[in-house]
Amino acid sequence: MQQNLSPEQRKRIEEHLAKVKASKQAPKAPKPEPRGWIDSDDPLIGELETMLRQLIVHYEQLHSLAKLHLEAIRRADVDQLSTCVAQENSIIQKVAEVEKRRLHVVGDIADVLGSPAETQTTMSWIAERVRGDKGGRLAAMARHLREVIGEMTEVNNAARSAADTLAKHMDGLMRSVARELNHAKTYSNRGRVDAGPAVVSALDISS
């Protein structure tokens, strides 16, 4: 197939291959020399502050929804439960998107500061090395975020406990109904619901 190429086409192919080879052999740009501080007006710090604000808003929303979720479980309100779950899933997706960006920014800041923890570098560690008033503000925001997450977790744990209690209660009701049906001989030998004899009951349903 190469025999049908014109000299100009061959030249272009050779130039392209040379560029590819050169790009593979080119040394990677060295990381900046780490330093022990970062300025408040650094764009990375601005991005981090913005993302912390977004996370606080999202987790406060999840905290409010967790309370509604718990009440819906206690009331056995299926419609409210469905609404809560849909809204929670939507916000959790937003949290995941912000977290992806936050890890990237934290990794870049860790490179600047020389943190061995890289993307797992803590907010308090970063805040201590930010020059200016933003360091204290970042630390305060991180503490508030932890508090909101802790409160949300407590409500979610209560919701799980309530859900387990409700499930056991419903299971008990089903067993009770099954015993009553068996007492009334409502189930036939074929496993089908048939009309059984009258069951003695104190409930008057004649009127």
List pLDDT tens digits, range 41-85: 999 999 999 999 999 999 999 999 999 999 998 888 989 999 999
Residue 201: inside a domain = no
Residue 38: CB partners within 8 Å, gap ≥ 6? 44, 45, 109, 112, 113, 126, 129, 130, 131
- Tally of residues, the chain: 207
Q: From residue 191, how far is each of 7, 16, 66 by CA, in Å?
A: 86, 77, 42
pLDDT of 183 reads 55
pLDDT of 167 reads 74
Q: Which helix (H) or strand (E) element contains residue 184?
A: none
Question: Could you give the CA distance from residue 132 to residue 207 in angstroms, rounded to a whole number?
Answer: 80
The number of distinct structural domains making up the chain is: 1
Q: Which helix (H) or strand (E) element contains residue 39?
A: strand 38-39
Residue 197: inside a domain = no
Residue 14: inside a domain = no
Residue 9: inside a domain = no
Identity at 102, one-letter amino acid code = R
Of the pLDDT bands very low, low, confident and very high (cuts 50, 70, 90), residue 12 is confident
Residue 117: inside a domain = yes
User: Per-residue pLDDT for 177 more than 80?
Assistant: no
DSSP notation for 167-180: HHHHHHHHHHHHHH
- The pTM for the full model equals 0.66
CATH of the domain at 91: 1.20.58
Identity at 116, one-letter amino acid code = P
Share of the chain above pLDDT 70, in %: 71
Expressed as residue numbers, the domain containing 136 is: 39-183
Residue 19: inside a domain = no
Give the residue, 205 or 163, on which the prediction is more confident: 163
pLDDT (mean) for 133-144: 93
Residue 178: inside a domain = yes
Residue 32: inside a domain = no
